[in-house]
Structure formats: structure tokens, C-alpha cells
Amino acid sequence: MGYAKTAMLMAAMTALFMGLGYLMGGATGMVIALIFAAGMNVYSWWNSDKMVLRMHNAHLVAPGDRAGLNALVGQLAKNADLPMPAVYLIDTPQPNAFATGRNPENAAVAVTAGLMQSLSREELSGVIAHELAHIKHRDTAIMTVTASFAGAISMLANFALFFGGSRERMGIMGTLAMMFLAPMAAALVQMAISRTREYAADKEGAAICGNPLWLAAALQRIEAGARRVENVAAERNPATAHMFIINPLSGHGADNLFATHPSTENRVAALRQMAGGAGARRERAAPAPATGDWSGARSMPKVRRKSKNGPWG
């Protein structure tokens, strides 16, 4: 999906927000909703990275960490012609990752402890390259603002139940309908933005790391891990689920209107096609999780919750 279509989706989200404000308070409610939306966007633009990282209890990874995570991110950022982003570790055993920040100069890449412990260096390179692609395409700000809109629309819809809106305009049944339909519509727009951008980030990420099959193998391993391991912070903040490389809330991933992410199977197939049709033949040669000099990072002790920078700091 191009930027024009993204702008249309964001305009639809704004219109939905204002429409709900109108149903609750007429023209005055619509104006208030617009002002609130503008303020929310400004706040999200300047604080998106801090908000999301705080939600997921992420710790900054210090330069020169013994796992070499900063060095790996730095090399891939150089490949992508990007400034070095901040690197964070999330204290959860579920393998996953996301990027955030309003622009490439103020970006961050966050990986989970479970990701570090379950992927090979090559697979991790594919995941980080994917997140750097989101930064390069400036997806991170758009996805964060969309999450803010979705949360705010859900909040307004709940207010409609308690305050009743304008009885003349929609009545009690209309109020109840808006309470359920408005958050659903917001979620659909949010999902559409996320799903379409994942394919573009997969393609760019494969170019950054140099091998589409590394990312393909990583996606399969992450999805399997997400099925088994709960991400408690993501469950508490479901509006951020679309930011992760794989949906952290569940293992299912049908490529349909209600999925926060494209089907992993479809993404893997596209990456294998990028590899020149050799993906199926080279699948067995994909890096195994316990090989190479990355084994040292995999054998590190479990995450210490009280550590300021985590075990990779």
C-alpha cells in the first residue's frame, strides 16, 4: 500500500473520531473531538517511542554489550543507510520485536529476551533488518498514531454508553451500537495499515540483511514461539500489537480483514520467491538456532527483572 492509501485510511480514522464526537455532542462535540485528535497526534508524534517502550518495560542496551546486539544493529543500520537507532531489550520470554520513533533520527529497535534466546544470528539479522525497514519507510510514527486513534475512539464509544450522546440523533440503541461498532471500525483501519506495511518491510528487510531466507526462517520460529508463550505486557496494551513483527496476542494469523498481521505463511512464501525460487530447495540450509558465535548469547542467564539495562546491557 502506498502513502496515498495510508493517508486515506488515516483520514477515515479522523472522520470516524469526529463522527462519534458529533453523535455525542453535535457540532460542538465534533469540534472538541477534532481538537482532541490534533492534540493527541502532536503528543504521539513527540513521545511515541517513550510511550511504547514504557508500556513494554523495555531496558536500554548499552553499547558494547557482550552479545554484540548493538554491533549487529549498527552494521544493519549502515547497510540500510540509516542513523544508529537506540536498542532496547524487553523482559519477556516470547520471541518478538518492534521498532518505534517519530523519524529515523529518533528511532528505537526493541527485541525480546525470548528472541535473543531462540534465534540464530542470521535469523536475528533478518528480524532487525525488518524493523529497520519500518524505520526507513517512516512506518513507526504512522502505526503509533493509528494505535492512539484506535484507543481514543474506543474510549469515546464507551463514554457514549454512559452519557447517552444525543437521544434525538441516535437514541439508546444507537448509543449501544456506537459503543461496539466504533472501536471495531477503528481496529479495522489499524489492522489494514499494519498488514499492508508488513509486506513492504519484509521486502526491504530482506534486502538490508542480504538473504530473504533468514527472515523467512525467523518468522516461522517467532510465530511458533508466540503460540506457546504469553506476552503479558502486550495483553495489557493490545493497541500496540500491530507494531510487533508477529502478533504477540495470539498464534493465529489468517490473512483476512480481522488479522492484525498478514499470514506468516504468505509472508514466508513471498520471501522465498524473492530468493529466486530457491527458497524451497534451500530451506534445510536455513541457519539453525544453536550455531555459530551467537550461541554465547543464547546461553545467557534468564532475564533479571531488577536489572536497569537487562542482561545485555
Which helix (H) or strand (E) element contains residue 179? helix 171-209
Residue 292 has what pLDDT?
A: 35
Annotation marks residue 265 as catalytic? no
Q: Which three cell numbers stand for residue 278?
A: 530457491
Q: Inter-axis angle of helices 69-79 and 171-209, to 10 degrees?
A: 90
pLDDT at residue 277 is higher than 90 = no
Residue 18 has what pLDDT?
A: 76
Residue 313 has what pLDDT?
A: 44
Residue 310 has what pLDDT?
A: 41
The residue type found at 250 is S
Dist CA 97 CA 117 (whole Å): 13
Residue 145 has what pLDDT?
A: 66
Among the options 122, 123, 131, 198, which is catalytic? 131
Residue 257 has what pLDDT?
A: 44
Angle at 76 between CA 72 and CA 77, to 5 degrees: 115
Least trusted range by pLDDT, from 13-27, 86-100, 108-122, 170-184? 170-184
Least trusted range by pLDDT, from 27-36, 96-105, 175-184, 214-223? 175-184
